[in-house]
Amino acid sequence: RIYKAKGRPSDNPMIVHIARASDIGQLTPMLSPQIVEIIDNFWPGPLTLVMKAKEIIPPVTRGGLGTAALRMPDNPVAAALIKASGTPIAAPSANLSGRPSPTDFESVFNDMDGRIEMILDGGNADVGIESTVIDVTDPKKILMLRPGGMPREILEKTLGTCLEVPDSQSKKRSPGTRYRHYAPDIPVIIYKRGEKFPDLDLRNAAYAGINEPEFKIAKKIKKY
């Protein structure tokens, strides 16, 4: 039903969310000191670990893979929902597949109204981008499958090792990289200060960025 509601390809697996670090033992056999250290440092938070899966995780959730993506979210409403349900929850972002991940109630409503039965409003997202996904199935070679809210530099410093980029073989283990993602339905222009600015009607434009642009744009989306 999640795949149907999102229009998500059925071989793109979902992240399984838990509310207590101790819940991880039922989902994966991989509880080495290295994994425990990662969890102690980064959970709850925007870091997803791809690990060997136990059979209890249904194949449909894993996209048929032998691995599962596991995470402990930091949002108190999400944590309360998982605790109250008494089971780990497979939960992707509440957007249509391919569209940007929502960060507030309104964006969820715009994408999903009529496709899901209810929306539980946990407030605006703190991070605003996807979780960082790392593959820890090989302890000697940790792979960065998707950049996200947990910066690479902080992970590498804590782990004392470089995160490797998946080669084409291991890319197969990262189904999410095969699909078009996070596409807004309006034109987006990347602009660097000092470059010639394209000819646009700025009265209907909005910007997202670190610095105010040097020309007048009607709306600011968000200051990062």
Binding span for Mg ion by CB under 5 A among 45-53, 94-102, 170-178, 208-216: 94-102
Reduce the DSSP state of residue 186 to 3 states and report it. coil
The answer to whether 132 contacts Mg ion (rule: CB under 5 A) is no
For ligand AMP, the nearest residue by Cβ is 176
Q: Tell me the residue length of the chain.
A: 224
H helices then E strands: how many in the chain?
A: 6, 8
β-strand pairing of 67-71 with 15-17: parallel
**62 forms part of the interface with ligand AMP (CB under 6 A):** yes
Cα–Cα distance for residue pair 36/53, rounded to 1 Å: 16
**Choice from 101, 132, 137, 174 touching Mg ion (CB under 5 A):** 101
**Choices 4-12, 95-103, 116-124, 157-165 (CB under 5 A): range interacting with Mg ion:** 95-103
Site string for ligand AMP, 124-143 (x = CB under 6 A): ------x--x----------
Span between the terminal Cα atoms of the chain, in Å? 35
- The entry of ligand AMP, Mg ion, none that residue 137 binds, CB within 5 to 8 Å by partner kind: none
> 150: how many CB neighbours lie within 10 A of its CB?
20
108 interacts with ligand AMP by CB under 6 A: no
DSSP character at residue 132? E
Name the token pair of 31. 């509880």
For the CB of residue 14, give the shortest distance to ligand AMP in the complex, in Å: 6
Residue numbers of the site for ligand AMP (CB under 6 A)? 12-15, 50, 62, 65, 67-69, 92-93, 130, 133, 145-146, 173-176
